[in-house]
Structures are given as C-alpha cells and as structure tokens.
Chains A and B, each alone.
Chain A
C-alpha cells in the first residue's frame, strides 16, 4: 500500500479529499509495504555483513601470517638447512625443495592422466562409461585426504617405508579429479566446428584431438593444473602419514627417500610448541601461502585473458 506521506490527517469527513490526501507529499512506504521493505533491508544488510565477515576473516588470517611470518623472513631463512636444535638458527630450504619435488612428481603423474581422462570423457566415452568415470571422479574428489593417504600407506609405505614418492602418489590422486573435470569442461567449450573441420579434412580422430582440440584447450588445462598443484602444495596429511621420517635437516631431492615439505614443517613446529619453532612455522606459512595465493591469482588472471581471447 503506497500512500502519500504519513496519514495523520485529522479524522474529519466534511473536508474535501484534497485536504485529506496531499498529492504533493513525497511517496513513502507505509503499513504493510513498509514492513516488507524493512524485512528486505534486514536481509540485504545480513547478506552484506556475511560477505564482509568472510572477507574480514580472510584478511585477518593473511594479516596474521604476513605480520608474524614477515618478521622471521630473510634470505638465510629461505636458503639455510633446517636446524633441529634451534629453529631460529636455521632455515627452511629443505622444506621448500621437498615440497617442490613432491608436487612436481605428483603433477607429472596427475596431469597426463587427468588430461587423458578428460579427452576420454569429451571425445570417446559412451554414455555408460562416461557415467562411471564421472562418478569415480566425483567420489575421488569427495574422499577425505586422510583416507587417500592411508590407502597409499597400505599400498606402499607399510611394506617399503616412508618415501616422498608415496606422498606424491597420494597428492596425484587428490589432483586427478580436479585436473580431469576442469580439463573436460574446457574441452567441451572448444567449438564443435573445429572438430568438424578436422573431420572434413579427413584427419584421423586422434590427430584431430592432438592437433586441433588440445591446443585450443591448452590454456584451460594449464590453469586447472596450476590450481590443482597449488592445492596439493598445501596438503599436509599425506606428508604426515607417508614421508614424515626425514633423516637429516639438509636439502634432499631424491623422491625415493622421505623428504620434508613446508606443510609438514609447519605442523611439526606447531606440535613442538617451542617459541622458535612457532616463529619458524609462521615464516614457513608465509612462504607457502604466498606461493599458493600467487598461483591462484595467476591462474585467475590467465583464465580471464584466455576467456577474452576465445570470446567466451
């Protein structure tokens, strides 16, 4: 109900209508409509508040990591070996290198496999096999990392001991559905005219895929891989279960042995509870978070540029 102004005119019937309702008064909600508008405003305020809360929490966490990690960050912190006696004297070079090796091996396993699965889904699979594979990917994506890690423990570590490769395998299982599903989406976006043009030229199916479809989807596939690798870099559970028995605090690169990793360093430092360890944990957290957020931002920017180029 929209009425002009607050209708507080005196209750007299003998006056003309124009005196009761001033047509020049501003239109404002009253009665039921005012209540409905108020409810709507309450909701809008709540929604804005929720968004601000989430952004606020993000900023508070980033601020804590940057402030506390920044104070220990130095060239030596990044390049020195771990010092198990006094963390303040050492650096985290083995953890950085270890994470790089573990994630690189995991990516080397997951990326080709994921892209092949995506090609299978996009180009070759029949309805039933596509359903089965999609379902397997969804289930894999929903598996808690601790379940994946304990499975690899039963498969490899229980018999052969800790190794960085075991952790890479677990991370590859975590990355596989991310890469496969995103790549599949990108492959589906490739215009079918491209495929048909290749077919019309008499190009065999696989050459059409390798020569035409894959190159135009490459940007999306790389983005998906970067995002998956960023996620894998921050996973802690596989490192704890599969490659925690690290011998020595120096830089090692052989994935057949247990390797340190940044998330593992943070977790162990936190468990140790000594102040120098906590400081090292914050420093490591800063390095890890910077890498992961940079990868995320980079992937987003790359994706946006790629989208524009494809005109999507």
Chain B
C-alpha cells in the first residue's frame, strides 16, 4: 500500500512538470498564434493597441542576468575557496552560514532595500562610471533616479553570490587532499595548488553552479521589478530603466487591458520556462549530479 502511495507521489512530480508546461503553453497560445517567434525581437509593447513584442525584455533580462553572472561567479568562487581552503575552522563556521543566510533574505526585502538604500548610492556611482567608460554604449548616460538595469544587475548579483559560493565550496571540499598536498609538497604556492589542482578537478561543477545561479537571476521577478524602474523603450545604456520578462509579468498582471495582454504575459512566462529548463538541463548535463542537493537548500 505504501508502495502505491509512494509511486503515485513520484508520478505527481512528473505530472506537475507536464501541467506547468501545458498551462503555460495553452495560456500563451493566442499570443503565439498571433505573433509567432517574432514576439521575441519586436520591441513595441502597447497593450491597448494589441501590439506586443518582447525585445526590450529579452535585452534587459540578458543584460541583468549576465551582469550578475559576471560579477557573482568570480566572487562566489573566491568565497567558496576561502571557506574551503583558507579560513580556519572557527571563521568558516561563522562566515559560511552568514553567506548562506544572504540567500535566505526574501527577494521582496532585497527589493525594498534596493530602492531605499542602494538606489541613492547607485545614483552617485552611475555618472562616475559613465564618464569613465561612456564610450561603451552599455555605460551610456545615466538616469537620475538610480533605478536602472544596472541596479537590478547589482541586486541579482547579491542573490546569485551565495548560490555560487556554497555550491562551489562543497565542490572544493570534495577535492582529494592527497592531490593538494602532493602539489604543495612539490613547492606549489596556495594559488598554484588552487589553479593547478582544485579548479581543474572541479571545473565542470563550478560551471554548473554558475548556470544554476544564472537560472535564478533570469527568473527573478520582485526584486528586479522594484529597482529596474519600469520599461518603455529599449535602451542601450544599462543606467537607464528597463524591464525583464518576470518583472513585467508581476507589474502588469493586476491591470490587464485585454485577453491578448494576458496571453502575451503567458508568452513571457513560456520564454522564461524554456530558458529556465534549458539552463537547468545544461547544469545537470555539465555538472553531473554534483552539488544538486545543496542547490536546493540554498535556494
């Protein structure tokens, strides 16, 4: 009897995945049949005129997520190395949990903090970055509020760092001690042990950890919606406001203009679903099953 119950429970997990895919696709189908794949790159979003295109969101989603990935991966790996190889035991047992607690802070609180505390700081940083790096379109002229794609990227970085850190720490702890000590005995410095032994043996797992972090960043809604400032048109500068798929869904869900508007939001969710499943599968494929369990606790 217990076997039957357990088997049913196992089946339910598979059914839930199928149900998610079915519901999202069927909800999006009016928009899919009307706009097709062109939805992805058209940049007009005018609900009252039945014109929908996700180009702007695709751009901002990619910019924020990759900014978070670029900043959070080295930081997270460095923290993972610190916790696994450099820190004495006492320090490790304090800092490790603190870093993981950073992941436990709800995104809505990060959003609140982002708007009230971080945005005024960013407001001052952005002009400086613009004057130094303004020749790159991404670092174009800033907006005055501090609510921008750049701020959203910073908030996402804060969310992704603890994921990469604790996943990679577990990977580094699993590297056999004999290998490390062998390298050290040959005269390698700490950095050479890490570069020559630790990182090569864990590289696939680290890539998987970064992918899991990327997946988290791509789908984050509330914190991004709070600080990204709301979209309008596609802007090359990341110091300008924008909107991502997830942020737009929660921003506009309460004020739907028409049925097609809802379908277009479902289409956005479908795109997120596809991106999410792909990054997840890629992480599983690359990382084997390394660290998968820890990923759960962290999120």
> What is the interface of chain A, defined by CB distance below 8 A to chain B?
36-37, 39-40, 42-44, 46-51, 53-55, 57-58, 60-61, 64-65, 68, 113, 116-117, 119-121, 123-125, 129, 132-133, 135-148, 150-151, 153-155, 158, 173, 176-178, 180-182, 185, 205-206, 209-210, 224, 227, 230-231, 233-237, 240-241, 244, 263, 266-267, 270, 278, 281-282, 285, 288-289, 292-293, 296-297, 300
Further contacts, 6 of them, CB under 8 A, given A39-B189, A147-B272: A54-B102, A64-B113, A65-B109, A120-B7, A124-B3, A143-B273
Is B16 in contact with A235, judged by CB distance below 8 angstroms?
Answer: no
* 7 A-B pairs with the lowest CB-CB distances in the bound complex, closest first: A144-B219, A234-B106, A142-B280, A116-B9, A120-B6, A206-B2, A40-B189
Chain B interface category by residue count: 35 or more
Chain A positions within 8 Å of B115 at CB level: 270
Q: Does B144 lie at the interface of the complex (its beta carbon under 8 Å from any beta carbon of A)?
A: no
Instruction: Give B225's nearest chain A residue, CB to CB.
Output: A267
Q: Does B234 contact A (CB under 8 A)?
A: no
Name the A residues within 8 Å of B272 (CB-CB): 144, 146-147
Near A by CB (< 8 A), chain B positions 228-251 give: 245-246, 249-250
* Bound Cα distance A166, B111 (Å): 24
User: Which chain B residues border A150 with CB–CB below 8 Å?
Assistant: 23-24, 27, 249, 265-266, 269
Contacts of A64 in B (CB 8 A): 113, 116-117
- Could you say which of B8, B82, B190 contacts A51, with CB atoms under 8 Å apart? B82
- Smallest beta-carbon distance B64→chain A, Å: 14
Give the shortest distance, in Å, between A59 (CB) and chain B (any CB): 8
Q: Is A266 a contact partner of B280 (Cβ separation < 8 A)?
A: no
Q: Tell me which residues across on chain B come within 8 A of A132, comparing CB atoms.
A: 10, 14
Nearest Cβ in chain A — how far from B289, in angstroms?
8
B107 to chain A, nearest CB (A): 7
How far is B108's CA from A240's CA once the two chains are assembled, in angstroms? Answer: 11
- Which one of A123, A150, A177, A231 has the greatest number of beta carbons of chain B within 10 Å? A150
Flag B194-206 by CB within 8 Å of A: 1 or 0 each: 1000000000000
24 pairs, A vs B, C-beta closer than 8 Å: A36-B192, A49-B78, A50-B74, A61-B102, A61-B109, A119-B2, A119-B6, A129-B7, A136-B13, A136-B14, A141-B296, A142-B212, A144-B273, A146-B272, A147-B219, A150-B23, A150-B269, A154-B23, A182-B293, A182-B297, A205-B3, A234-B109, A241-B249, A270-B108
B222 & A236 in contact (Cβ 8 Å cutoff): yes
Q: Write the B161-199 contact mask toward A (1 if CB under 8 angstroms, else 0).
A: 110010000000000000000000000011110100000
Q: Which residues of B contact A120 (CB under 8 A)?
A: 6-7, 9-10
Find out whether the CB atom of B102 lies under 8 angstroms from the CB atom of A58.
Answer: yes
* Contact A58 to B98, CB < 8 A, known contacts A236-B107, A240-B253: yes
Which A residue's beta carbon lies closest to that of B274?
A147
- Which chain B positions have C-beta within 8 A of A61? 102, 105, 109-110, 113
Residues 1-27 (chain B) with a chain A CB within 8 angstroms:
1-3, 5-10, 12-14, 16-17, 19-20, 23-24, 26-27
Let me know if A151 and B24 touch, CB within 8 A.
Answer: yes
Whether A133 contacts B99 in the complex (CB less than 8 A), given A178-B299, A288-B109, comes out as no
Residue B60, interface by CB 8 Å: no
Q: Mark B209-225, 1 if CB is under 8 A from A, else 0.
A: 00010010011111000
- Which residues of B sit under 8 angstroms from A151, Cβ to Cβ? 19-20, 23-24, 269
Contact surface of B with A, Cβ cutoff 8 Å: 1-3, 5-10, 12-14, 16-17, 19-20, 23-24, 26-27, 74-75, 78-79, 81-83, 86-87, 95, 97-102, 104-113, 115-117, 158, 161-162, 165, 189-192, 194, 212, 215, 218-222, 226, 245-246, 249-250, 253-254, 265-266, 269, 272-273, 276-277, 279-281, 283-284, 292-293, 295-297, 299
**Could you say which residues of chain B place their CB within 8 Å of the CB of A209?**
2
Given contact pairs A47-B82, A54-B165, A177 touches B296 in the complex (Cβ within 8 A): yes
Residue of B nearest to A265 (CB): B108
CA distance A44 to B81 in the complex (A): 9
Q: Which residues of A contact B83 (CB under 8 A)?
A: 51
Interface pair A65/B296, CB less than 8 Å apart:
no
Instruction: Select one of B6, B75, B162, B293 contacting A185, CB under 8 A.
Output: B293
Contact yes or no, A241 B280, CB < 8 A: no
Cβ contacts under 8 Å, A42 to chain B = 191
Q: How far is the CA of A132 from the CA of B219 in the complex (A)?
A: 24
